[in-house]
Amino acid sequence: MDNKGNSSSSGKTDQRKHPRIALALPITIIGFNATARVVDFSLGGFHIATDNTEQFKQGQQIRIAVRFPDEAAISFIKASIAHIGQKGLGCRLIDVDPAIYRMLESNFDFYRSTMPIE
């Protein structure tokens, strides 16, 4: 279950602590004017595709509003920007409320069984 140290097809070592899945999920980054969506998801973080990466800084903390398809409520998740690329942000989850983490685990387990893990 741990991807740390696995080699990817590009020959780079994958340093992720958690496995991830591809997922297309619209989100709001609180306080920023940017179209954003989660494009991959793990229990440690998200990769967020956004049209305006210039307004973000590595190490910056952000709040994300997200509603998974089978969830009734919107969840607010705190994250730290780990890296910035031309098309998006790699974010680590921080200070996750235990109830939110259980919701993330439930959704990860559900989507992992329906989508290929990268």
| pLDDT of amino acid 116 | 58
pLDDT tens by residue, the chain, 118 residues: 333 333 333 344 445 577 788 888 999 999 998 889 999 989 999 999 998 899 999 999 999 999 988 889 999 999 999 999 988 999 999 999 999 999 999 989 888 877 655 5
| pLDDT of amino acid 101 | 94
Name 100's Cβ contacts closer than 8 Å, sequence gap at least 6: 75, 76, 77
- At 85 the pLDDT is 92
Domains delineated in the chain: 19-112 (2.40.10.220)
How much is the pLDDT for 3?
A: 36
Contact 34, 52 (CB under 8 A): yes
